[in-house]
Amino acid sequence: MKKISVTVWNEYFHEVEDAAIGKIYPDGIHGCIAGFLKEAGMDVRTATLKEPEHGLTDEVLNSTDVLIWWGHMRHGEVCDDVVEKVHKRVKQGMGLIVLHSGHASKIFGRICGTNTGELKWREDGGKEILWLVDPTHPIADGLPEKIVIEHEEMYGELFGIPEPDALVFISWFEGGEVFRSGCCFHRGMGKIFYFRPGHESFPNYFHKDVQKVIINAVKWAAPAQLPVITGGKSEPAFVK
């Protein structure tokens, strides 16, 4: 069976500019995510902001089944042409997984059509519990009813997204806030999953259950062998 082809995109500035964060993710956040996806049997490439076309050339995008997106400080530097191409590929069937502060990225804003940058946040390193609210969803496969993360940044509602097609996780935070942490959307032939954890100053992409969610999400979002669909003026499907 053909392996799922994943491209992990990371802005890749925090890890380079801040020694403490570089120590948590010596190979970058993208390197950490690529590592556990490879171990799960996937074909994985990485791409970063500074590369020509941010590493997302036509060749890369056209051979990517699922694109993972982590960005934070430099959303504005992502070239609109690249965003346009990613958006087009998603509508054609490429899966997209948007992580943590990718909520405010150009591509997620384009997908959602709402102000996805709106939410509450507090970088206090308190506890987060992600409660599984859709245990029958493929992304929930093999997971416990709750994922406990000892130290994370808080994100609180109201989150400026459209109504998700499926809500898989809701987070609780020590300050009393709640957040829709695992949200599925469909756009055209493409499946999109937003997953909340992954602030750069905590090592949470090494958390086994967080990894399991991302692995499951890649499998869920990978395009099936799509049938050829034709539109426009059409003859009756049955001849009387």
Nearest C-alpha neighbor of 105 from the set 72, 138, 63? 72
Rounded to a whole number of angstroms, the minimum distance from the CB of residue 24 to Zn ion is 13
- DSSP-assigned letter for residue 133: S
Q: Which stretch binds Zn ion (CB under 5 A): 38-46, 58-66, 96-104, 188-196?
A: 96-104
The C-alpha atoms of residue 187 and residue 176 are separated, in whole angstroms, by 33
* DSSP helix/strand/coil, 204: helix
Measured from the Cβ of residue 32, the count of other Cβ atoms closer than 10 Å reads 22
**Does 199 sit near Zn ion (CB under 5 A)?**
yes
Rounded to a whole number of angstroms, the minimum distance from the CB of residue 60 to Zn ion is 26
Rounded to a whole number of angstroms, the minimum distance from the CB of residue 71 to Zn ion is 11
Exposed e or buried b per residue across 41-61, where buried means at least 16 C-beta atoms within 10 angstroms of its C-beta: ebebebbbbeeeebbbeeebb
Rounded to a whole number of angstroms, the minimum distance from the CB of residue 95 to Zn ion is 23
Rounded to a whole number of angstroms, the minimum distance from the CB of residue 231 to Zn ion is 41
The size of the interface with Zn ion (CB under 5 A), counted in residues, is 3
Closer CB to Zn ion, 11 or 65, in the complex? 11
The C-alpha atoms of residue 80 and residue 205 are separated, in whole angstroms, by 28
Residue from 48, 101, 105, 204 touching Zn ion (CB under 5 A): that is: 101
Closer CB to Zn ion, 164 or 197, in the complex? 197
Closer CB to Zn ion, 153 or 177, in the complex? 153
Closer CB to Zn ion, 117 or 138, in the complex? 117
The C-alpha atoms of residue 99 and residue 205 are separated, in whole angstroms, by 10
Q: Which stretch binds Zn ion (CB under 5 A): 31-39, 88-96, 197-205, 227-235?
A: 197-205
Question: How many alpha carbons lie under 13 Å from residue 114 in its C-beta half-sphere?
Answer: 12
Considering only residues 122 through 161, tell me which ones interact with Zn ion, judged by CB under 5 A. Answer: 153
Say if CB 6 and CB 42 are below 8 A apart. Answer: yes
Q: Which stretch binds Zn ion (CB under 5 A): 9-17, 33-41, 192-200, 215-223?
A: 192-200
Alpha helix stretches (DSSP H) within 71-192: 80-92, 106-112
Rounded to a whole number of angstroms, the minimum distance from the CB of residue 90 to Zn ion is 23
Residues interacting with Zn ion, by CB under 5 A? 101, 153, 199
